[in-house]
Chains A and B, each alone.
Chain A
Amino acid sequence: MSRYVLLFSGWLLLGAGFVSAQASLMGGVSYSTVRSQYLVGKKQGAVCWQAGFAFLYRFDSTARFGLKGEFIIEKKGYRQIIDKRYDFGFDYMSLPVLLNFTPNENYSLSGGLSFGRLFGTSVRQGLDTYRLYELGFVVEVNLFEKNRFGIYTRMNQDLTPMIHYYSLDELGNITGTIRDLKITDVVLGLRIRIPQ
């Protein structure tokens, strides 16, 4: 299913590129944290980043509502503090598909789903450990929407767990499956509108 989702998102981006969509480059710094029921020790966030481009297609005459498709490379991660600090980093290629509402020329709101594919980790054999595909929820505020340069802030929330892992008891019996680890990251970034 994930393959078809990515294909659909790619089609959406491509389609938007052929109509009068507004293209822009985007990039920013994020603070990434993890929600977990099972992680041992203290959890800490990590400073990460994202970069990519977006197409915004307005489909009404008032130009208030639109559909935005994005292609983003982003780094997410977190830290665990137990006997020492353990850092975990994850590299994703993400395709957010967002509904956009622009009440006035000063700001706009976007929200929707993000489909991500893990392509790198900071741990050995991480692509065998962590689930390759993720689904997330995105909400975003864009400032100075009509200007060439704008600012955006967004929150990404993972909806799907990153691990399906064995749960062991003290003797080593497998007692079940742990479905856990969801990353939340908050981004502050710059958007550069590409002139049409």
Chain B
Amino acid sequence: MKSLRTQTLLLILLLTAGCEPDYIPDPVDPRLPEFTEEGNNEAGAFINDDVWRSVESLHGDATQNLLTVFYTDADAIDLKFEGGSRVFDAIIFHLSGLGIQNEMDLLPLQGRKIVLGNDGNTGVCFSTYCDPDDPACRVTPGTGQLFFKTVKFDKKYAEVVIAGTFGFTFEDASGNPGKVTFGRFDYRINQIGTIP
């Protein structure tokens, strides 16, 4: 009986052993990451039906920030989601008038839907290898929304978790309409400007 118990435990261990993949697939459409609210540092969307997903490193072995939050002027921040698809790399949200001075000021965004294309709030996507100031690369933002479903402070790691969804339209440099759909994000922020 002891032998059988040991063998059963070993069998259970074997079944559950092994490396966990880094990616959490959506249970319905595994091309995108699952929509989670735990600070898993993942994001995904469809850009013109191409899959866009957040990445861990952009250049060689160097680890780049997945999410960069930086001030663009006195009362505006940009949220830059690093990622990649066939054509576009990053998705950037420019948010104005939210009174965000530090990462704790993000907490009131809990449950808030920000309309893009209004009041200076925009969403665009562009290629990292293309200068956004170059007219040949300029993307014109359209309309849409950014939804902060969960914004919470993780006391254990002293980090703010932001998780939500997004979708918006845009026009590429050639004037072709584009759309970003079924977007989801789940990030941790320990201070404005960097992530852990």
Residues of A within 8 A of B (CB): 38-41, 51, 73, 75, 80, 82-83, 86, 91, 119-120, 123-125, 128-130, 162-163, 165-166, 168-174, 178, 180-181
Contacts and interface: CB of A to CB of B under 8 A. Distances in A.
Given A40-B28, A40-B29, A165-B27, A171 B145 contact: yes
Given A82-B31, A170-B179, A174-B165, 17 more contacts: A80-B30, A82-B29, A123-B25, A125-B34, A128-B36, A128-B38, A162-B27, A165-B28, A168-B165, A169-B167, A170-B181, A171-B166, A172-B146, A172-B165, A172-B182, A173-B145, A173-B147
Contacts, number: 88
Interface of B: 8, 11-12, 15-16, 20-25, 27-31, 34-36, 38, 40, 51, 144-147, 149, 164-168, 179, 181-184
A177 to B, nearest CB: 12
Given A73-B11, A75-B15, A124-B20, A172 B147 contact: yes
Contacts of B35: 165-166, 168
Contacts of B149: 174
A118 B40 CA distance: 22
Contacts of A80: 30
Contacts of B24: 123-125, 129
A180 B28 CA distance: 9
Give the interface SS of chain B, mostly helix, strand, loop or mixed: mixed
A170 B46 CA distance: 9
6 contacts: A73-B12, A82-B30, A129-B27, A165-B27, A172-B146, A172-B183
Contacts of B30: 80, 82, 86
Given A73-B12, A170-B167, A171-B167, A130 B27 contact: yes
Given A172-B147, A173-B165, A86 B12 contact: no
Contacts of B12: 73, 119
B144 A171 contact: yes
B28 A178 contact: yes
